[in-house]
Structure 1
Amino acid sequence: MKSRGIMLLVVAGLLGSMTLAAQAETVEVIMQKYSFQPQELRIKAGDSIRWVNREKRQFHSVLFPGQAESDYLFPGDTFEKAFPAPGVYPYHCGPHPEMTGTVHVD
Structure 2
Amino acid sequence: MSSGRHLAILVLLALGAMAVPAHAATIQIVMENLVVSPAEVSAKVGDTIEWVNKDILAHTATARNGDFDVTLAPKQTATLVLKKAGTVDYYCRYHPNMKAVLKIAP
Shorter-chain TM-score category? 0.7 to 0.9
- Kept in 2, the 8 Å contact 1:73–1:79? The answer is no
State the match for 1:42 in structure 2. Answer: 42
User: Which structure dedicates a bigger proportion of its chain to strand?
Assistant: 2
Larger Rg: 1 or 2? 2
Q: Give the total of aligned pairs.
A: 101
Could you tell me how far 1:71 is from its partner in structure 2? 2.6
Question: Helix, strand or coil for the counterpart of 2:63?
Answer: coil
Could you tell me how far 1:67 is from its partner in structure 2? 4.7
- Kept in 2, the 8 Å contact 1:60–1:94? The answer is yes
- Kept in 1, the 8 Å contact 2:72–2:78? The answer is no
Q: TM-score, normalised by structure 1?
A: 0.75
Alignment of 1:76-91 (within 5 A): 77-91=76-90
User: Which structure dedicates a bigger proportion of its chain to helix?
Assistant: 1
Structure 1 gap segments, 5+ residues each: none
Alignment of 1:7-86 (within 5 A): 8=11, 18-19=20-21, 22-55=22-55, 57-65=56-64, 66-67=66-67, 69-75=69-75, 77-86=76-85
Q: Partners of 2:4 and 2:70 in 1: how far apart?
A: 57
RMSD of aligned C-alpha atoms?
2.5
Compared CA separation, residues 45 and 68, structure 1 to 2 (3 A): closer
Q: TM-score, normalised by structure 2?
A: 0.75
